[in-house]
A and B are shown apart, each in its own frame.
Chain A
């Protein structure tokens, strides 16, 4: 060991200075994303425009519904950029948007085709996020597909505004911080239908369920059975049918002599059209069982499906998220804009997609940033009105909208080819609200 100390010279001072600088700079180089709140994926700060992604079924069984969703998205973009008559921007309250894009940036969009398949939807969404740089994407028509995209949204840190998805799981056990649903769910359908069914069909009924064998069908069957059993109805049987079965005659025939006096069709889209058409052909609606008229219920209705089922829907009860015949200012403004643009009224799928786009845009404006963590906070527990369903809450605990639900029945005296559903009752929001804990699930973190 030597007591000799080397003298500090210019060279060693420079070396020490460079080394200290490197040490001090290292955390910045390695972890710059961690401490920059302003840093997020596809940050459009240096761009004159922002891009949305609209991922809808353009091929496959839901292509018509997807086409209507796309029309609504295009209309929403038009209105956000200050073109057209403004639609619901004239009725939305509170409103931070000014009709000059979002935060002064013009809104542009890209589209994708989900094919109503989870893997195709995820691939398309990934392409929109990574290649097209979308700041938000939206789309719908299947709960399985919506849930798959929601998980991707959480992984990628890009907000996904669900289109049409009705399964309890979307904002229940599979909810995500980066996913938001404006559309109602199966639980709400049950809660809204219950009182109407009791009034129209009484408390002594025997129900037979035919259920599409996937996430949405299961949750709807559970919710509707809970409701009807709560009324005192007996559930005779719950039969699962393969998705896209086509001919349902072998599942309908056993209903005839089962002792049931109500058939509940937990089917959507083509399955619903086929099962309802065939149930009516089997004479179920003309049948008298247990001294009562046999009834058929379709818990989730859409106008596009009603068109496919033709005359068979007459008098059949169900629920819907929204209908173009509503007379509130928001609905009237949207129907007018959409009808003038395309020549016919919008579907409920179009409505929810349009509203979701405006709500996201408004949240950015209120947050003053496109940073998803802040936009999410702006959407959570946000209350609004003037969008077609009365005062609405975007509940922060599960990202589910709570609003009035429409109970409808197939119109027996239609005045036009679009006038297929008659609104029987508007069930108030309070009646369909539930504790978010009942469906479990975890939203996950704000920052990913």
Chain B
């Protein structure tokens, strides 16, 4: 039983990341009709906002000690972050909270990047076939990857969670299990709540604001909204920027779980597309529920008991589910009628 609870937690946690990326992906498809293969790269860019922020606040004062020599014959350098030199303990605390603080950098940067990307590139492809949209966005993803790699290198760069949530916690004792049976990393719990919070905020924004109402109306009937004198294009540009920001925030908070490297976006991209397809192209609740569903299924398929009966199932489960869903219900779990159906 404890193994099942642990895998459900894992699935929810993994599903949170899938849902956040898929949410933006499906939002862009639902509003702009664009298949954005660069969305994984936006997740990666968010993660590197955290890395860049950490690099900036960790800038070091280098003191050369001529009395000590390195193994290769140069004087030994002692390095201390400027922030600690200037602010003492406060500086150490700021360094400790580098990942959550980097959200402050990621939000404006990702919004700006999303805006520029939509205005500079994506809008030229609105009326072009999906194949061309895929090619151009995939190409952009590769360019972004290579830029990040040339600057930060190919090796993963570890980012630590704040000390207070760095270890694991005994969740089992809270829900009536024996002590030590359900131990789970605290940061992963933070991530789960963070993703739920972001998902809730996006839904609330679209559901309860005038802006959201116009966007939803535009998604349903773009032309009619245009006839009413509303500049729907401008709103859709903002939607693209918001989707980029959501993917970026998902990336920022994921860095303590997975040390970021330039390729991490591609690793999530394919899975996120499967999530969108299973959930239903353009359906926000579909993307979220499919994200959590596939996350949990993937975790269960990795259990030794399951793998003993079905070897290798952990590697194909997501695609298997996608094939079944597409055969039985081509529009996806919550897809709108007529979307991707002929």
Name A residues whose Cβ lies closer than 8 Å to a Cβ of B. 59-64, 237, 239, 242, 244, 246-247, 249-251, 253-254, 256-257, 270, 273-274, 277-278, 281-283, 286-287, 304, 307-312, 324-325, 332, 335-340, 343, 345, 416-417
Contacts and interface: CB of A to CB of B under 8 A. Distances in A.
A308 B263 CA distance: 14
A336 B71 CA distance: 6
Given A246-B264, A277-B158, A286 B73 contact: no
Interface of B: 2-3, 6-7, 9-11, 13-14, 70-74, 76, 79, 149, 153-158, 160, 166-168, 180-181, 183-185, 187-188, 256-259, 261, 263-264, 267-268, 298-299, 302-304, 307, 314-315
Nearest to B305: A254
Contacts of B315: 242
Nearest to A344: B72
Contacts of B181: 256-257
A311 B71 contact: no
10 contacts: A63-B153, A239-B307, A246-B268, A249-B10, A251-B302, A253-B9, A254-B302, A274-B258, A281-B187, A282-B168
Contacts of A307: 155
* Interface residues of A, dominant DSSP: helix
B149 A273 contact: no
Contact of B72 (A63, A287, A335, A417): A335
A69 B70 CA distance: 22
A61 B304 contact: no
Contacts of B6: 253-254, 256
A23 to B, nearest CB: 63
Contact of B257 (A62, A247, A339): A247
Nearest to A313: B158
A308 B157 contact: yes
Contacts of A286: 167-168
A390 to B, nearest CB: 19
A246 B188 contact: no
A59 B76 CA distance: 32
Given A254-B303, A311-B160, 19 more contacts: A60-B154, A61-B154, A61-B263, A242-B315, A247-B258, A249-B10, A250-B7, A250-B11, A254-B3, A257-B3, A270-B261, A274-B156, A283-B185, A308-B158, A309-B259, A312-B158, A338-B72, A339-B72, A345-B72
Contacts of B13: 249
Contacts of A250: 7, 10-11, 14, 298-299, 302-303, 314
> Residue among A244, A270, A286 with the most chain B CB within 10 A?
A270
A273 B314 CA distance: 21
Contacts of B303: 250, 254
A344 to B, nearest CB: 8
Contacts of A256: 6, 181, 183
A311 B159 CA distance: 10
A338 B71 CA distance: 10
> Residue among B2, B154, B315 with the most chain A CB within 10 A?
B154
A63 B154 contact: yes
Nearest to B155: A64
A336 B257 contact: no
6 closest Cβ pairs, A-B complex: A339-B72, A283-B168, A310-B158, A63-B154, A250-B302, A281-B185
A59 B257 CA distance: 24
B327 to A, nearest CB: 25
A277 B160 CA distance: 10
A67 to B, nearest CB: 8
B74 A281 contact: no
A325 B76 CA distance: 15
A335 B71 CA distance: 7
Nearest to B180: A287
Nearest to A253: B6
Contacts of A61: 154, 261, 263
> Residue among A60, A257, A311, A324 with the most chain B CB within 10 A?
A257
Contacts of A287: 180, 183
A369 B340 CA distance: 68
A79 to B, nearest CB: 15
A339 B3 contact: no
B74 A340 contact: yes
Contacts of A63: 149, 153-154
A332 B71 CA distance: 7
B159 to A, nearest CB: 8
A336 B299 CA distance: 49
B95 to A, nearest CB: 13
B328 to A, nearest CB: 26
B149 A274 contact: no
> Residue among A277, A309, A345 with the most chain B CB within 10 A?
A277
A273 B156 contact: yes
A286 B168 CA distance: 9
B237 to A, nearest CB: 32
A345 B10 CA distance: 40
Nearest to B268: A246
B10 A246 contact: no
Contacts of B166: 281
B3 to A, nearest CB: 6
A310 B98 CA distance: 15
Nearest to B14: A247
Contacts of B264: 246
Contacts of B74: 339-340, 343
Contacts of B160: 310-311
Contacts of B258: 246-247, 274, 277
A281 B73 contact: no
A91 to B, nearest CB: 15
Given A339-B74, A340-B74, A244 B155 contact: no
Contacts of A64: 153-155
B304 A237 contact: yes
A399 to B, nearest CB: 30
Contact of A325 (B9, B71, B167): B71
B71 A324 contact: yes
A275 B13 CA distance: 16
> Residue among B72, B76, B156, B184 with the most chain A CB within 10 A?
B72
B297 to A, nearest CB: 11
